[in-house]
């Protein structure tokens, strides 16, 4: 990066005011190019559990500022492990990063503690929708803001999440253990939002929900991205829904990224259609017998 004062110094030596202006403009352009970039970057990440089981094998992916990125894959492909590597939760399951680096907002974070990750602005919404079942809905939400000190801001954001999830407003004094699956998904997402994250890691938000609720949840994710500027790394098996709201997507299999590209292109990709949407080239659904041996025919495996 060429700092502006260096550009001014060079121009001053050349003795021209026009040179000064043009050099500073060039320097400013370079500054903007370098300053824009990727808020989250995983580079060649390898993860091992119990010093024996290699789960992630050189995963590299990026989540640009302000974007929604989907991570697609079957059960056991390494999607949740990828999220836990980012949020530094691997230690709770005897896992660790053995190779590679994770950088967020210009700082390396792969050796931090989970509480530090939250302070950086990264929040993970776990698969299975865990909540504090003996606390009320509103108490759960306030727990989500425990890393913040600004009481006024917490009250404002409490109102914000009730606006995004109005069904929770009427349940604010209900014990969360009695919520349905859809209501609990709204609660854990809202609790994550109370931490005022820059980046949310969503793990299977559609799991076990009715089609109508899934559509509602994904619409809210899109609204949060547009209105609040929150960006998302979305792990999801519902490939069609994930690709419909995402800017970019990665496909992970057996711990490796095997394909990535703009979501609008991947949703038209024949392999994605066949192996994740169950559609043939003519748009008809494939039978289970046709799909189950897909590994032999994948063009990306080569």
Distance in angstroms (rounded) separating the CA atoms of residues 156 and 141? 12
Strand partners, 231: 199
Distance in angstroms (rounded) separating the CA atoms of residues 254 and 298? 14
- The label of the residue with tokens 């299975």 reads 128
186 band by pLDDT with thresholds 50, 70 and 90: confident
Indicate the average pLDDT of the chain: 81
Strand partners, 291: none
Q: Determine the average pLDDT of the residues in 8-13.
A: 37
Q: Which of 166, 194, 80, 199 has the alpha carbon at shortest distance from 128?
A: 80
pTM: 0.77
Q: Determine the average pLDDT of the residues in 260-280.
A: 81
Residues 6+ apart with CB under 8 A from 161: 141, 168, 190, 193, 194
Q: What is the dihedral of CA 83, 84, 85, 86, to 10 degrees?
A: 60
pLDDT in tens, 32-63: 333 445 589 999 999 999 999 999 999 999 99
Q: What integer pLDDT is reported at residue 209 of this predicted model? A: 79
281 band by pLDDT with thresholds 50, 70 and 90: low
Q: What ranges do the domains of the chain cover?
A: 4-34, 35-297
**Structure tokens, 237:** 């098996």
> What kind of architecture, by CATH, is found in domain 35-297?
3-Layer(aba) Sandwich (3.40)
Q: pLDDT at residue 4 above 80?
A: no
Q: pLDDT at residue 233 above 80?
A: yes
Q: Determine the average pLDDT of the residues in 52-80.
A: 93
284 band by pLDDT with thresholds 50, 70 and 90: low
107 band by pLDDT with thresholds 50, 70 and 90: very high
Q: What integer pLDDT is reported at residue 132 of this predicted model? A: 81
Q: Which residue has the higher pLDDT, 57 or 178?
A: 57
């Amino acid at each position: 990066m060429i700092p502006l004062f260096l550009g001014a110094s060079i121009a001053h030596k050349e003795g021209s005011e026009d040179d000064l202006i043009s050099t500073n403009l060039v320097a400013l352009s370079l500054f903007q190019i370098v300053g824009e970039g990727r808020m989250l970057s995983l580079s060649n990440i390898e993860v091992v559990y119990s010093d024996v089981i290699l789960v992630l094998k050189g995963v590299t992916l990026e989540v640009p500022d302000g974007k929604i990125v989907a991570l697609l894959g079957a059960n056991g492909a390494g999607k949740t492990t990828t999220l836990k590597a980012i949020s530094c939760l691997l230690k709770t399951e005897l896992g660790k990063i053995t190779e590679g680096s994770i950088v967020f907002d210009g700082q390396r974070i792969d050796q931090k503690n989970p509480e530090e990750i939250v302070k950086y602005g990264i929040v993970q919404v776990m698969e299975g929708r865990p909540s504090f079942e003996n606390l009320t809905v509103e108490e759960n939400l306030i727990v989500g803001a425990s890393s913040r000190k600004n009481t006024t801001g917490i009250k404002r954001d409490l109102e914000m999440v009730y606006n995004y999830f109005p069904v929770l407003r009427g349940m604010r004094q209900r014990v969360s253990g009695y919520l349905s699956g859809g209501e609990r998904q709204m609660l854990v997402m809202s609790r994550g939002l109370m931490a005022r994250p820059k980046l949310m890691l969503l793990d299977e938000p559609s799991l076990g929900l009715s089609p109508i609720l899934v559509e509602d949840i994904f619409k809210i994710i899109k609204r949060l991205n547009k209105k609040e500027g929150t960006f998302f790394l979305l792990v999801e098996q519902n490939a069609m829904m994930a690709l419909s709201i995402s800017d970019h997507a990665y496909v992970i299999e057996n711990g490796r990224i095997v394909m990535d590209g703009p979501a609008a292109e991947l949703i038209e990709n024949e392999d994605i259609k066949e192996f994740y949407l169950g559609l043939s080239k003519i748009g008809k659904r494939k039978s289970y017998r046709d799909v189950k041996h897909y590994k032999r025919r994948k063009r990306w495996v080569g």
